[in-house]
Amino acid sequence: MPLYLCLDQGGHASRALVLDGQGTEVARAVREVATRLPAPDQVEQDPEEVVSSVAAAARAVLTALGPRRDELRAAGLATQRSSIVCWDRITGAALSPVISWQDRRAADWLAQFTPQRAEIERRTGLRLSPHYGCSKLRWCLQHLEAVRAAQQERRLAVGPLASFLAFRLLEERPLVVDPSNAQRTLLWNLAQRDWDPWLLELFGVPRELLPQARATRDSFGHLAIDDEPVPLTIVTGDQAAALFGFGQPRPEAAYLNLGTGAFAQRVCTQPVQVDGLLTGIAFQFDEQATYTLEGTVNGAGAALTWAVRHLDLPNLEERLPAWLERDAEVPLFLNGIGGLGAPYWVADFESRFIGVGEPWQEAVAVAESIVFLIAVILERGREAAPAATLMVSGGLAHLDGLCQRLADVTGLPVWRAAAHEATARGLAWLLAGGPPWPAPPGTDFTPRAGTAVATRYHAWRKEMQRRCV
C-alpha cells in the first residue's frame, strides 16, 4: 500500500508522520522547537532550528520505515499560518527570526490603516490584525539591517514560513507559496487567489520580494533528505490540513482543532462573510477550491501556559483533568492571552478574573474561557448555517472535562477523534487524492441541560459585551 510522509511544523515541535492511504499511522518522529519571547507581544523562533528540526524528524521517520521506504509515494508540508521569515534567495540564509503568528509587535503601525479596514477585509476575508504577516514583514523591512541590505542587493525573499521551509528543504529551491499560507499575510486577494497590488502598495511590501502563487496540490520539488528524494506535492497551513483530518469535511459539521490556539471552521463552496469571523481558503487545485468560515481563539493552550506561570501551577497539565471533574463554582476569566480574537478582535485586551477563587479554581476558569470563546464563535457562525455537530481534535482535546463543557455550553453533540493528529491525517488524505476513509474511532459527548457552566457562560458573555463595545 502506498505510504505518505506528512510534515507538520507547529509552534512547539516539528512532527514527521508516515501514514497509509487509509490514514493508519506507520511511523512518527518529533523534534522540539524552542520559542523566544524577547519583549512583550513578541514571539520568535530560530529559523535554523526550525529547518533542522523538520529535516531531523523526517530523517528519523524515514529510517524507522526500513525497507518500507520503497512504498513512499509523496510528501506534504503543513506549517503555522501567519508566521513569516525573511531570507537570502541566493544562499538560503535566514535574515530574520521566524516571527510567530502569535507576535503583535507591529500593532501600533498597523492601526494607521483603520480607515481602509472595510476594503482590506473585503479583499482578504480577514480582519485588520497584527497577527497576520504583512505588519511583521514591514517591521523586518524597516528594522533589520540584514534585510535592508539584501533588498538593496536584490537578494531578498520574504514570505510565510512554509515558503522558507520549501526553499531550504527542497532540492530545486523553489520560491513558491500556497493559498492557505499566502492569505494569512493580509496581502492576498481571496477572489483572485493571488497577491493584491492595492494591498502591496498600501502596506509597502514590494511584489518582487514575495513567492510565486501556486495551488495547494502541485509539483513543488523534491525533499533533499538522505539519498532518495521524495516529491513534495501538498503545501498548506496547519489548520487547513486539519480540516481534512477525517476525510471529506461534512458540511453540517463544525470542526475544532485545539492546540496553542483554537480554530473553529466550517466548510463552504463559496466565500461566506459573517461579521467578526474570517473567510479563508483551505484547498485549491486548478479551479476547485474549498473555502472556510473560521473563528480563532489565540489563547487556548497558550492560556494554560500563561496559567502555569501566573498562577504558580507547574503541574497544571497533570492536575487539570481532575480539577475539571469537580462540581464547584469557579470565577470567570476574560481571556485576552495572545490578543483577543474572534469575534471581538481587540489586540490589546487585558485578561482578568471576575470573582475570586483558589489557584485550582482559577485554572478551571482559564480552561472554561477557551470553551466560552469557542461557543460565541459558533453562535456567530449560525448566521451562515447552523451546525449539527462539533468534531474536535488537537492536543487539548484529550481533556474530557473540556469536551463535555463544549457540549453543555454549545448544545451540540461533540465527537472527539481517538487520533489527535488531525493535521498530519489531513495531509495524508490530500496526498492520497481524497479516498473514501472508514469512520475513525472516537468518543461522543452529549449535551446536558441546566448545567452550572452554561450559567457561567451567560454571565461571561455579559462581561465581555460590556468591555468590548
Strand pairing category for 253-258 and 212-213: unpaired
| Domain identity same for 136 and 219 | yes
Q: Which amino acid is at 371?
A: V
Which of helix, strand or coil describes residue 37?
coil
Check whether residue 101 and residue 215 sit in a common domain: yes
Q: Give the pLDDT score at 385.
A: 79
Q: What is the pLDDT of residue 461?
A: 97
Question: Do 160 and 33 have their domain in common?
Answer: yes
Confidence at 83, pLDDT banded by 50, 70, 90? very high
pLDDT tens track for 210-230: 999 999 999 999 998 877 799
* Whether residues 291 and 404 fall in one domain: yes
CATH of the domain at 430: 3.30.420.40
Is residue 368 within 8 Å of 405, Cβ to Cβ?
yes
Domain boundary residue, one of 239, 271, 296: 239
Q: Is 125 helix (H, G, I), strand (E, B) or coil?
A: coil
CB of 338 closer than 8 Å to CB of 302: yes
Shared-domain flag, residues 213 and 176: yes
350: left (phi over 0), alpha (psi -120 to 50) or beta: beta
Q: Residues 322, 438: one domain?
A: yes
| Cell numbers at 341, concatenated | 480574537
Identify the pLDDT of residue 302: 93
Do residues 18 and 65 lie in contact, with contact meaning Cβ atoms separated by under 8 Å?
yes
- Using CA atoms, how far apart are residues 369 and 372, in angstroms rounded to an integer? 5
**What pLDDT, on the 0 to 100 scale, is given for residue 325?**
95
Please identify which residue in the block is written with the cell numbers 540564509: 93
CA proximity to 238, closest of 115, 393, 96: 393
| Residues 72 and 88 placed together within one structural domain of the fold | yes
Cell of 425: 491525517
Q: pLDDT confidence of 469, banded at 50, 70, 90?
A: low
Q: Determine the pLDDT at residue 383.
A: 79
The residue count of the chain comes to 469
Domain boundary among 215, 239, 263: 239
29 with 50, same domain? yes
Kindly state the average pLDDT of the residues 156-184: 98
Q: Are strands 13-20 and 25-32 parallel, antiparallel or unpaired?
A: antiparallel
Residues 255 and 235 in one domain: no
pLDDT category of residue 440 using cuts at 50, 70 and 90 = confident
Model confidence, pTM: 0.92
Q: How many domains, in total, are found in the chain?
A: 2
Residue 449: closest CA among 415, 408, 418: 408
The full DSSP string for 385-453 is: ---SEEEEESGGGG-HHHHHHHHHHH-S-EEEES---HHHHHHHHHHTTS---PPPPEEEE---SS-HH
Residue that is last in its domain, among 216, 239, 262: 239
The predicted pLDDT at position 113 comes to: 98
- What range defines the domain where residue 319 resides? 247-467
Q: Locate 349 and state its grid cell.
A: 485586551
- Residue 222 C-beta-side C-alpha neighbours within 13 Å: 10
Each residue of 314-337: pLDDT tens digit?
899 999 999 999 988 999 999 999
Mean pLDDT confidence for 396-413: 97
Residue 230 near residue 367 (C-beta atoms within 8 A): no
Same domain, yes or no, for 223 and 292?
no
The answer to whether residues 234 and 268 belong to one domain is no
Asked if residue 255 and residue 190 are part of one domain, the reply reads no
Tell whether the torsion through CA atoms of 53, 103, 293 and 368 is positive or negative: positive
Closest alpha carbon to 77 in 8, 173, 31, 126: 8
